[in-house]
């Protein structure tokens, strides 16, 4: 035991001496400590949509068959690694996310960070704050809080997987599933109650970790929601392009 400890210390000292010699011989702005920190950092979310396809797969083309096979493999991986995460669980997470994103109560808006990335949560909070200001200008806060603030309801009539993405980053496995969610939204109460049909494409992300060293109990998150045109509400993270390129280079034909 002592011999292994001494050997490890000697190896670390030798590495530090080599780095110091290299920095002195070849002056550069490159930071070795930042490199190690970047290599060891842990992402809490990919913070961007990796697969923007919203068209349902079909049986009449090779691309459609490939897509169906990728969906099957991804769902099989999910059931093996996270048997507790089912379509019903993801559907409920989406419903909870929608209800929180339409709330005017600050305590409920603060819970959005548990359902979506920080950037998306801040965007929704900003939009809701602007709505609150507009409603305050039009009428009393008491009237708004007793009426419209509690009038939002959503009933999801169908929740089907249309696309998927499976990749690896920082030793963690990530799975994103694109759903087609058809629902009925109800806003307002009493005579102001309005029900409208809605079709959206939420992107649900499941962090599968490495499956060995770290616990695999992270809750699924709603990375973003796309409309019928395939455009997401809000924007992807700043490193979205580089992240898509880095993860896309290692993709297999069935993922």
Does the residue 9 lie in any domain? no
**SS3 label, residue 2:** helix
In a domain, 231, yes or no: yes
Per-residue pLDDT, 208: 85
Comparing 34-38, 115-119, 174-178, 196-200, which segment has the lowest mean pLDDT?
A: 34-38
34 located within any domain:
no
Report d(CA 102, CA 95) in Å as an integer. Answer: 11
Give the whole-angstrom CA distance, residue 116 versus residue 111.
9
Residues 6+ apart with CB under 8 A from 123: 233, 234, 235
Q: Please indicate, yes or no, if residue 16 is contained in any of the structural domains.
A: no
Sequence-separated (6 or more) residues with CB below 8 Å from residue 76 = none
Asked whether residue 91 is domain-assigned, the answer is yes
With CA atoms as reference, report the closest residue to 93 among 209, 207, 204. Answer: 204
Query: CA 225, 231, 234 angle in degrees (round to 5)?
Result: 60
pLDDT given at position 192: 74
DSSP string, 89-145: HHHHHHHHHHHHHT---HHHHGGGGGTS-HHHHHHHHHHHHHHHHHHHHHS-HHHHH
For residue 199, what is the enclosing H or E element? Answer: strand 194-209
Diameter of the chain measured on Cα atoms: 81
Mean pLDDT of 162-175: 81
Both tokens of 221, joined, read 């998150």
Per DSSP, what are the bridge partners of residue 201?
Answer: 226
Residue 79's nearest CA partner among 201, 180, 177 is 177
In a domain, 42, yes or no: no
| CATH number, domain containing residue 237 | 3.10.450
5 assigned to some structural domain: no
Neighbour-count burial of 162, counting CB atoms closer than 10 A to its CB (0-12 exposed, 13-18 middle, 19+ buried): middle
Q: Is the pLDDT assigned to residue 14 strictly greater than 90?
A: no
Give the residue numbers spanning the domain of 72.
Answer: 61-248
Residues 5-12 have a mean pLDDT of 61
Residue 227 is assigned to a structural domain of this protein: yes
Count of domains forming the chain? 1
For residue 186, the model assigns a pLDDT of 87
Express each pLDDT in 191-237 by its tens digit. Answer: 778 888 999 999 999 988 776 777 778 889 999 899 888 788 876 65
> What is d(CA 128, CA 136) in angstroms, rounded to the nearest whole number?
12
Mean pLDDT over the full length of the chain: 77
Q: Report the alpha-carbon distance of residue 249 to residue 252 in Å, rounded.
A: 9
CB-based burial label for 1 (10 Å; 0-12, 13-18, 19+): exposed
- Find, among 152, 167, 146, 126, the residue nearest to 249 by Cα: 167
């Amino acid at each position: 035991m002592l011999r292994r400890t001494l050997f490890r210390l000697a190896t670390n000292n030798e590495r530090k001496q080599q780095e110091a010699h290299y920095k002195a011989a070849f002056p550069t702005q490159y930071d070795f400590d930042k490199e190690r920190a970047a290599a060891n950092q842990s992402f809490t979310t990919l913070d961007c949509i990796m697969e923007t396809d919203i068209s349902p797969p079909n049986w009449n083309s090779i691309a459609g068959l490939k897509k169906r096979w990728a969906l099957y493999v991804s769902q099989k991986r999910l059931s093996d690694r996270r048997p507790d995460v089912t379509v019903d669980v993801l559907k409920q997470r989406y419903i909870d996310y929608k209800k929180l994103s339409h709330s005017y109560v600050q305590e409920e808006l603060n819970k959005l960070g548990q359902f979506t990335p920080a950037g998306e949560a801040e965007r929704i909070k900003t939009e809701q704050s602007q709505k609150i200001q507009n409603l305050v200008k039009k009428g009393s806060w008491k009237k708004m809080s007793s009426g419209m603030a509690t009038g939002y309801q959503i009933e999801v009539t169908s929740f089907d997987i249309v696309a998927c993405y499976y990749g690896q980053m920082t030793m963690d496995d990530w799975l994103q599933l694109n759903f087609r969610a058809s629902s009925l939204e109800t806003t307002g109460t009493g005579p102001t109650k309005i029900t409208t049909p809605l079709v959206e494409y939420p992107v649900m992300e499941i962090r599968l970790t490495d499956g060995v060293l770290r616990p695999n109990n992270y809750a699924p998150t709603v990375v973003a929601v796309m409309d019928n045109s395939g455009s997401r509400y809000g924007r992807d993270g700043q490193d979205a392009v580089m992240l898509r390129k880095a993860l896309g280079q290692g993709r297999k034909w069935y993922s």
